[in-house]
Amino acid sequence: MEENVDLLTQVKNKAHAWLQEEYDKQTREQVKHLLENDEKELIDAFYKDLEFGTGGLRGIMGVGTNRMNTYTVGSATQGLSNYLHKQFADLDRIKTVIAYDSRNNSRFFAEQTAKVLSANGIYVYLFDQLRPTPELSFAIRHLNCQAGVVITASHNPKEYNGYKVYWEDGGQIIAPHDKNIIHEVQKITSISEVNFEGDDQKIQSIGAEVDREYLNNIKGLSVNPEMIERQKDLKIVYTPLHGTGVHLVPQALEKLGFQNVIHVPEQDQINGDFPTVHSPNPEEHAALEMALKKAEQTQADLVMATDPDADRVGIAVRNHKGELEILNGNQAAALLINYLLSQWKQRGKLTGNEYIVKTIVTSELLADIAEAYGVDHYDTLTGFKYIADKIKQLEGTKTFIAGGEESYGYLAGDFVRDKDAVISCVLLAETTAFAKDQGKSLFDQLIDIYTEHGFFKERLLSIVRQGKEGEEAIRHMMDQFRNNPPDTINGQDLMLIHDYNKQKTLDLISHLRYKINLPKANVLQFLLKDGSKISMRPSGTEPKIKFYFSVNDRLSKREDFEKVDQMLEKRIDQIIEALNIK
């Protein structure tokens, strides 16, 4: 009880600071309303400061230190500016680039960011219209910038916006830069320390020229242009879900030679309210409903939907019964990587010095595919910024072919250093065309992969817990599994525990401990005797804890697909029931 009183006192003190003249009238009125009428919302808005997580700065838009608004964006940008001056003190001109998505206030936050950077003597390239996040990553390297910012909350609901910082390599910031920028932000004790008076002479609008270079690089990733020519009429339904893919994805598909791209006109409308979907998240089946309907009307071969900032893509294909079926991120990644490796091998491009990258919660099927082709694979922590860092570490010594994560993010080539739905769309279309050229569907190709490498089935379960109370509930859940792990799960002995927070693996058979050579992270993994893998981690960008389940078995012949599929589905159900986490 005393803790709650102390918290409320702290929150009210922080809120009263926002009643000073440095803050605009509308903000002061909203804060005053919270102080007088809504204690719960007041606490949620002020009980902490937004921090950089796996996706940077992200939160609900509104007043308060724990919300996305002019002042939290301004403070973050002032901290970034101060850090850039320290890191690049030897440069005559520090350069940055800013992009933004279709969300409400995204253009406004981008302009505010540009103003603060330019007011601090930093040169800014500002995209003239909304652009995909991966193009921001490309532009940093293309324009030889020291950093970049994209205003986006990716696939979050419409109430959210965000602020992602990228470093000079084109990847999202990681340690030590993320913590150092936060430290610089925390040193700002008054909003008067933020310089909002922009310098227009230091802000340059960019657009079409960067698009051309980006698209030319994407075209260079195609490994089978002669086959695309044969399958140029492949029926593709594409929707940007009201987001930034609306222009560049169709242009990229056309550039590779695909001539039959079918639109969902209602979802081509750029709109931060995302009026045709409950959530603009291609991981959710409901987001693809309109595209699936269009595909049935047109008898399309492939459906693709990108999220608002076009770094993730969800797909649906014709299954072995001719019905449209939505694939998950692990399946799409397996198909894409298997296609690329097979074509590199067929063309004699595999030298033994190539590699792929996946995250620790992504299907082990990708590792098995890579091994079959004699290609190295690396695991990273969850978040594509770690895949980008691995590319940076190996740059000049090994050749990166592709990378993927279960959350619908994929990348090929190294000119972008983040998951890229524009690249993914064109290469998944090429993969589908290749299957059709062989008289198969993409789903047929997936079954072929399962019969060769084993049938891997995954499922994600997210448990949402809002606000401060929810944060504590999630912390308690992780503590319980970490400190009191079960001996068996679903009748299977627990064999290994990977604790990425302790950076240790515990072998429960030998009782030996091994070091995990990855950065510290609040992730826990249980490996069972039958090869099942359970991963759990709090989300870095949303108020939820995520459980990842992976089970596998042999698929001796194609005819057994449905039987094995149902058996694996049941196994996941039983594991969830045994853990009692619903």
The position carrying tokens 């695909």 is 258
Contact criterion met (CB below 8 Å) for 67 and 60: yes
Strands 57-60 and 160-167: antiparallel
**Distance between CA atoms of 576 and 461, rounded to whole angstroms?**
9
**Distance between CA atoms of 195 and 185, rounded to whole angstroms?**
13
Q: Is 359 helix (H, G, I), strand (E, B) or coil?
A: strand
CA distances from 126 to 91, 98, 113, 204, 560 (A): 20, 5, 10, 6, 54
Contact criterion met (CB below 8 Å) for 376 and 395: no
CA distances from 100 to 130, 135, 153, 198, 272 (A): 5, 10, 10, 18, 12
Name residue 492's beta-bridge partners: 489
Catalytic residue among 102, 106, 154, 407: 154
Give the tokens for residue 130. Answer: 């909304």
Contact criterion met (CB below 8 Å) for 336 and 447: no
Kindly give the residue spans of alpha helices, DSSP state H, lying in 283-355.
289-298, 329-346
The position carrying tokens 């009183």 is 5
Q: Does a cis peptide bond (omega within 30 degrees of 0) precede residue 176? A: yes
CA distances from 132 to 95, 150, 206 (A): 20, 9, 14
**Distance between CA atoms of 301 and 236, rounded to whole angstroms?**
6
**Type of residue at 363:** S
**Distance between CA atoms of 547 and 581, rounded to whole angstroms?**
9
Cα 551 off chain centre by: 23
**Distance between CA atoms of 80 and 411, rounded to whole angstroms?**
27
**Distance between CA atoms of 365 and 201, rounded to whole angstroms?**
52
* Helix-strand-coil split of the chain, %, nearest 5: 40, 20, 35
Q: What is the b/e burial string over 424-455, where b = at least 16 CB atoms within 10 angstroms of the residue's CB?
A: bbbbbbbbbbbbbeeebbbbbbbbbbbbebeb
Q: What is the DSSP string of 107-127?
A: HHHHHHHHHHHHHTT-EEEEE
Q: Is 461 helix (H, G, I), strand (E, B) or coil?
A: strand
Dihedral sign (CA 121, 127, 133, 136): negative
The number of residues in the chain equals 582
Per the annotation, the verdict on 154 as an active-site residue is yes
For the purposes of burial, counting CB atoms within 10 Å of the CB of 540, is it exposed (0-12), middle (13-18) or buried (19 or more)?
middle
Q: Where are the beta strands (DSSP E) in 369-468?
A: 376-380, 399-405, 409-412, 455-464
Active-site positions read 154
